[in-house]
């Protein structure tokens, strides 16, 4: 098995080397459209009903319109092609626009152009229209949102302006209102939190920084690593220090839940479980501001922190540019004659699949008998990463098996042929779902049939932050008969995921990810909205000692080891020295702004096409 994983590593390096050295132009850089009869901007009359354009297609193609008032020939074959657009009359005095996109499933570079329909000068009353971006949001939701029927039946306020705030725009406010008034999208607007999200950035800003040198020796599926300014603290919780009468002392602490390896925080000696009680010599009285200062600092920031333990010196941290790898730790524990692998994975970010494969390779080389997969803070991410990880864990047991079934909204489920074309998935008529198999045999150029830990059993550590793609791994492996033992706290219960669209409008780039599907395993079972109840309950946080560093004595890890070996190994629930100087009550913090993929994200090439400058 060691040789197999080494072969995978060499194959990944060789594949990238050959790709980078060949002189032929990559397929996705070859234009799929030539000799087109349209122009970049097309204008039609308010009462014009249809128009035809011709072009040469390099391969099979799919066309789409951003607006429902323009219907379109949806697809065609390679060669001489005709694109037919059909329009509804414009009854408004205001002109309107739609983006026409042509995508190629074979990977050729797509094309797009804007159609502007003139306003109707004979209209009696002008129609008040809101920001143009709202029309893009609305059309995408009306076609792809999982609860699109309820959405379309709801009266929407198109006049809402877009404020550069992830919570203050037509997209978010409409879906929140849908949840508040009808409850139809209770798997999206859940517990007052909306999973669907939209981001906006200036179109001139560089979207990502590519890793260099040895950092990119594995295909990243076109998803780039993005550097960030950081002290290296992954996340924290706020703590209210109280007196013996449970009255607040007016000061707070911030407990470190995880740290990025090799970061300034780690080099300074900070670790999970440390509680920061002072910043720059001052007690913390505004824990929200302190939280953002530590977890999302500005570039070039320097800060001095003091811990909530007597005799501990202060630590001075300066931000650095780092890649926030989700692989936080991997090691092997020896206990009761077993070699137990441990992998702490905080997010399914496909840009870091190389890091994940390296960690799995190291664990396999150590000859592990069991694996503890720590997903306690993993809110999900790219489904392709979840599939890859699950395939390597299952090994040959994944061969030819269903990884995931997808259920879309009723309109997409009824139009089987178009949905198959659009998603690239097969339709299982018996189950009445679209299916995706494990990546056994191929994962973006790597042959996973030669890899695999071939585990019969897997231990997964969970909390309420374990969501979506993390729960997908648990469910999918259970669907093919792997014994998945969950340890910790009840998971989130997010059994739905999103596809997205990216477009540019008026100087901004928008990335829109609404919930568009529900997932099921090979047994056609979907994770309940109440979450996965742990087989072995254990608390991640304790009011008396907080967190312990990741290791054999940490409560969740210790509980898994005890179940594996039958030997109680858990140390007393206390820090090495003494109890903290002050009593502690935990405060849940608000979510950080969207920085990394969260949820259960499926990237569709066709849906990611689109540009309007």
DSSP line for 309-366:
STTPPPEEEE-EEE---SEEEEEEEEETTEEEEEEEE--B-GGGHHHHHHHHHHHHHT
Residue predicted with more confidence, 270 or 542: 270
Q: Residue 11 in contact with residue 445, Cβ under 8 Å?
A: yes
Can you give the pLDDT at residue 211?
A: 29
Q: What SS3 class is residue 558?
A: helix
Cβ burial of 42 (10 Å; 0-12, 13-18, 19+) is middle
Point out the least confidently predicted range of 16-20, 348-352, 356-360, 444-448.
Answer: 16-20
Residue ranges per domain, the chain? Answer: 31-119, 131-194, 229-322, 334-578+590-602
CA distance 252 to 192: 26
DSSP state of 203: T
CA distance 589 to 76: 51
Q: Average pLDDT of 388-410? A: 96
Backbone angles phi and psi of 448, in degrees to 5: -75, -10
Q: Does domain 31-119 have CATH number 2.60.40.10?
A: yes
Compute the Cα dihedral for 137, 143, 147, 153 and give only its sign. Answer: positive
Domain 334-578+590-602 top-level CATH class: alpha beta
Selection from 66, 131, 130 nearest residue 97 by Cα = 66
CA distance 461 to 342: 10
pLDDT at 22 over 60: no
Confidence label for 138 from pLDDT (cuts 50, 70 and 90): very high
Average pLDDT value over all residues in the chain: 83
In this prediction, what percent of the chain has a pLDDT beyond 70? 83
Three-state SS letters, 218-241 = CCCCCCCCCCEEECCEEEEEEEEE
Confidence label for 19 from pLDDT (cuts 50, 70 and 90): very low
Can you give the pLDDT at residue 213?
A: 25
Q: Average pLDDT of 72-77? A: 80
Tokens of 496: 């739905």
Q: Which residues pair with 373 in a beta bridge?
A: 343, 460
Point out the least confidently predicted range of 19-28, 118-127, 378-387, 474-483.
Answer: 19-28
Q: Residue 469 in contact with residue 570, Cβ under 8 Å?
A: no
Angle subtended at Cα 429 by Cα 426 and Cα 432, rounded to the nearest 5 degrees:
90
Can you give the pLDDT at residue 240?
A: 85
pLDDT at 391 over 90: yes
Confidence label for 65 from pLDDT (cuts 50, 70 and 90): confident
For residue 212, the tally of other CB atoms under 10 A from its CB is 8
DSSP state of 207: -
Q: Residue 388 in contact with residue 268, Cβ under 8 Å?
A: no
Place of tokens 């047991």: 397
Can you give the pLDDT at residue 441?
A: 82
Confidence label for 481 from pLDDT (cuts 50, 70 and 90): very high
CA distances in angstroms from 335 to 535, 536, 540, 569, listed in the order given: 21, 19, 22, 9
Q: Is it true that 229-322 and 334-578+590-602 share their CATH fold?
A: no
CA-atom Rg of the chain in angstroms? 26
Selection from 216, 488, 191 nearest residue 355 by Cα = 216
Can you give the pLDDT at residue 316?
A: 95
pLDDT at 300 over 80: yes
- DSSP H/E element including 111: strand 111-117
Compute the Cα dihedral for 290, 295, 297, 303 and give only its sign. Answer: positive
Q: Which residues pair with 55 in a beta bridge?
A: 81
Can you give the pLDDT at residue 593?
A: 57
pLDDT at 514 over 80: yes
For residue 313, the tally of other CB atoms under 10 A from its CB is 8
CA distance 284 to 282: 6
Confidence label for 18 from pLDDT (cuts 50, 70 and 90): very low
- Residue length, the chain? 613
pLDDT at 199 over 80: yes
Q: Average pLDDT of 492-508? A: 91
CA distances in angstroms from 466 to 181, 193, 379, 383, 531, listed in the order given: 28, 15, 5, 15, 9
Point out the least confidently predicted range of 287-296, 483-492, 509-518, 583-592.
Answer: 583-592
Cβ burial of 192 (10 Å; 0-12, 13-18, 19+) is exposed
Q: Average pLDDT of 95-110? A: 74
Confidence label for 349 from pLDDT (cuts 50, 70 and 90): very high
In this prediction, what percent of the chain has a pLDDT beyond 90? 54
Q: Residue 495 in contact with residue 519, Cβ under 8 Å?
A: yes
pLDDT at 11 over 50: no
Q: What is the pTM for the complete model shown?
A: 0.75
Can you give the pLDDT at residue 66?
A: 62
Q: Average pLDDT of 329-347? A: 94
DSSP state of 576: S
Q: Which residues pair with 414 in a beta bridge?
A: none
Can you give the pLDDT at residue 2?
A: 42
Q: Residue 147 in contact with residue 516, Cβ under 8 Å?
A: no
- DSSP H/E element including 181: helix 170-181
pLDDT at 28 over 50: no
- DSSP H/E element including 502: strand 501-505
Architecture of domain 229-322: Roll (2.30)
Residue predicted with more confidence, 609 or 508: 508
CA distance 156 to 150: 12
Q: Average pLDDT of 577-604? A: 67
Can you give the pLDDT at residue 124?
A: 60
Selection from 571, 505, 465, 568 nearest residue 114 by Cα = 505
Cβ burial of 367 (10 Å; 0-12, 13-18, 19+) is exposed
Point out the least confidently predicted range of 238-242, 266-270, 497-501, 582-586.
Answer: 582-586
Q: Average pLDDT of 268-273? A: 95
Confidence label for 23 from pLDDT (cuts 50, 70 and 90): very low
Compute the Cα dihedral for 336, 338, 342, 348 and give only its sign. Answer: negative
Bridge pairing between strands 111-117 and 41-44: parallel
CA distances in angstroms from 210 to 133, 300, 339, listed in the order given: 29, 21, 37
CA distances in angstroms from 296 to 165, 197, 249, 324, 591, listed in the order given: 16, 20, 26, 12, 12
Point out the least confidently predicted range of 20-34, 524-538, 540-554.
Answer: 20-34
Can you give the pLDDT at residue 339?
A: 95
Q: Average pLDDT of 32-52? A: 86
Q: Residue 458 in contact with residue 393, Cβ under 8 Å?
A: yes
Can you give the pLDDT at residue 104?
A: 74
């Amino acid at each position: 098995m060691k040789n197999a994983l080494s072969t995978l590593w060499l194959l990944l390096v060789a594949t990238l080397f050959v790709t980078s050295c060949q002189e032929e132009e990559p397929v996705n850089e070859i234009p799929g459209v030539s000799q087109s009869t349209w122009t970049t901007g097309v204008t039609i009359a308010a009462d014009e009903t249809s128009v035809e354009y011709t072009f040469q297609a390099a391969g099979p193609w799919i066309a789409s319109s951003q607006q429902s008032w323009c219907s379109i020939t949806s697809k065609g074959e390679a060669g001489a092609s005709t694109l037919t657009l059909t329009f509804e009359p414009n009854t408004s005095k205001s002109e309107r626009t739609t983006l026409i996109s042509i995508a190629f499933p074979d990977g050729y570079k797509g094309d797009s152009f804007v159609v502007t329909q003139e306003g109707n000068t004979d209209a009696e009353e002008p129609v008040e229209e809101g920001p143009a971006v709202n029309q893009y949001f609305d059309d995408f939701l009306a076609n792809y949102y999982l609860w699109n029927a309820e959405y379309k039946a709801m009266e929407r306020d198109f006049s809402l302006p877009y404020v550069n705030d992830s919570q203050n725009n037509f997209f978010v406010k409409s879906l929140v209102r849908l949840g508040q008034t009808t409850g139809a999208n209770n798997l999206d607007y859940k517990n007052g939190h909306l999973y669907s999200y939209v981001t906006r950035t200036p179109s001139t800003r560089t979207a990502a920084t590519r890793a260099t040198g040895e950092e990119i020796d594995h295909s990243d599926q076109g998803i780039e690593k993005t550097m960030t300014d950081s002290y290296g603290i992954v996340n924290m919780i706020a703590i209210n220090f109280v007196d013996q009468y449970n009255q607040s002392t007016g000061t707070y602490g911030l407990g470190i839940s995880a740290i990025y390896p090799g970061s300034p925080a780690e080099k300074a000696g900070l670790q999970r479980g440390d509680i920061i009680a002072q910043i720059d010599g001052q007690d913390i009285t505004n824990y929200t501001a302190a939280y953002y200062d530590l977890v999302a600092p500005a570039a070039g920031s320097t800060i001095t922190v003091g811990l909530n333990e007597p005799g501990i010196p202060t630590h001075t941290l300066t931000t650095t540019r780092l890649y926030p790898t989700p692989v936080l730790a991997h090691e092997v524990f020896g206990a009761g004659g077993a070699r137990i692998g441990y992998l702490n994975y905080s997010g399914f970010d496909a840009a870091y699949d190389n890091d994940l494969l390296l960690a799995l390779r190291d664990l396999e080389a150590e000859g592990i008998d069991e694996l503890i997969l720590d997903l306690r803070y993993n809110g999900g991410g790219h489904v392709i990463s979840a599939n890859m990880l699950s395939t390597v864990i299952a090994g040959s047991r994944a061969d030819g098996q269903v990884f995931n079934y997808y259920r879309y909204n009723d309109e997409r489920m009824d139009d089987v042929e178009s949905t198959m074309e659009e998603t690239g998935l097969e339709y299982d008529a018996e189950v009445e779902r679209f299916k995706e198999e494990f990546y056994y045999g191929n994962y973006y150029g790597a042959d996973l049939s030669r890899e695999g830990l071939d585990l019969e059993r897997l231990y997964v550590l969970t909390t309420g932050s374990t969501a979506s793609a993390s729960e997908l791994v648990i469910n999918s492996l259970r669907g093919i008969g792997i014994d998945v033992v969950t340890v910790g706290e009840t998971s989130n219960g997010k059994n739905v995921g999103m596809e997205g669209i990216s477009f540019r409008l008026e100087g901004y780039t928008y990335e829109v990810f609404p919930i568009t599907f529900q997932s099921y395993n090979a047994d056609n079972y979907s994770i309940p909205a109440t979450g996965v109840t742990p087989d072995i309950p254990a608390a991640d946080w304790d009011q008396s000692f907080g967190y312990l560093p990741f290791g054999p004595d940490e409560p969740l890890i210790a509980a898994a080891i005890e179940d594996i070996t039958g030997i109680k190994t858990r140390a007393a629930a206390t820090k090495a020295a003494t109890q903290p100087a002050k009593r502690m009550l935990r405060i849940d913090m608000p979510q950080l702004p969207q920085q990394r993929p969260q949820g259960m994200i499926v990237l569709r090439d066709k849906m990611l096409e689109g540009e309007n400058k």
